[in-house]
Structure 1
Amino acid sequence: MATLQQEILTSAPSDQVWDAIRDIGALHTRLVPGFVLDTRLEPGARVVTFFNSVTAREIIVTLDEERRRLVWGAESSFLKHYNGSVQVFERGGLTCVVWTADFLPDEAAATVGPLMEAGAKAMKVALDRLIEKA
């Protein structure tokens, strides 16, 4: 199973960062605008439309307020398995978001990796905007 990880550092307050992440229906407006174009909630899941017109149904596995951790699984035509998680930490006066993806087949890393990099860049821009509002 392949594992990829992105870390996003921001000066935005961790509570505001977690609030944006835990708002599972607002990926396209609060967390990764431009990378995600639309998010539609369904019972226990969200349907996400990405910038490249790909749509994925993401099952929400855990929304852990205490650990500030969100976990989801995704259904995809090119992945046998996908499990993603995002967790918020405080690190040296900054807020760190760790995004981890575990998936099969391993060869999908060539596609998933650049997508995660683009998503992390969009997330960094959105989170840094929270500094202006703090």
Structure 2
Amino acid sequence: MASIREEAVIESSADDVWEVIGDFVAGPRRMAPGFVLDSRAEDDCRIVTFADGTVVRERRIGVDHDTRRIVYSVVGGDVRPEHDNASMQVLADGEQRCRLVWIRDVLPDQLAAPMSKTMSAGLAVIKRTLGHLGSPE
């Protein structure tokens, strides 16, 4: 099984970043506007549409507000892994800075390279979008 880990420092408080990341349904379009075109609820899943036209169905596994961690799994759509488990966790790194750690385990291993590329591109958008949340303008 391939494991992917992406991490970024975001210049906003962990609480402010978690308010977006922890929103299972709307979080993807709020954290990565333009990269994600739509995210909507359907049963216990969210349907996420990306700018490149890819549509995935992601099942909510868990949201832990105390540890600021969300876990989900791609279960359908244009990408159909045999196994997928992804987590995003927001860790405080001072008052106005945090780290976002995004980990994904996926099968088959051949999906790791394209998923890693997509995660890296998405994380760049997330960092730009969520940086300086709550800062006075």
**TM-score normalised by structure 2 residue count:** 0.89
Is 1:89–1:97's contact at 8 Å kept on the other side of the alignment?
A: yes
Is 2:16–2:134's contact at 8 Å kept on the other side of the alignment?
A: no
Is 1:35–1:122's contact at 8 Å kept on the other side of the alignment?
A: yes
Over the residues paired in the alignment, what is the CA RMSD in angstroms?
A: 1.8
**Stretch of structure 1 that moved more, 56-65 or 37-46:** 37-46
Counterparts in 2 of 1:106 and 1:22: CA distance versus 1, 3 Å: same
Is 1:6–1:99's contact at 8 Å kept on the other side of the alignment?
A: yes
Is 1:27–1:33's contact at 8 Å kept on the other side of the alignment?
A: no
Structure 2 unaligned blocks of 5 or more: none
Report SS of the residue matched to 1:121: helix
Is 2:82–2:108's contact at 8 Å kept on the other side of the alignment?
A: yes
1:74-130 CA deviation, whole Å, 9 max, x = no partner?
124442111110001012552001001110011212211110111101110111141
Counterparts in 2 of 1:78 and 1:60: CA distance versus 1, 3 Å: closer
Is 2:12–2:130's contact at 8 Å kept on the other side of the alignment?
A: yes
1:35-88 CA deviation, whole Å, 9 max, x = no partner?
211001122210000111111110000010111100001124442111110001
Q: What pairs with 1:25-104 in structure 2 (closer than 5 Å)? A: 25-76=25-76, 77-92=79-94, 94-104=97-107
Q: Which letter does structure 2 place at the counterpart of 1:42? A: E
Q: Distance in 2 between the 1:55 and 1:69 partners?
A: 23
Higher helix fraction: Structure 1 or Structure 2?
A: 1
Structure 1 unaligned blocks of 5 or more: none
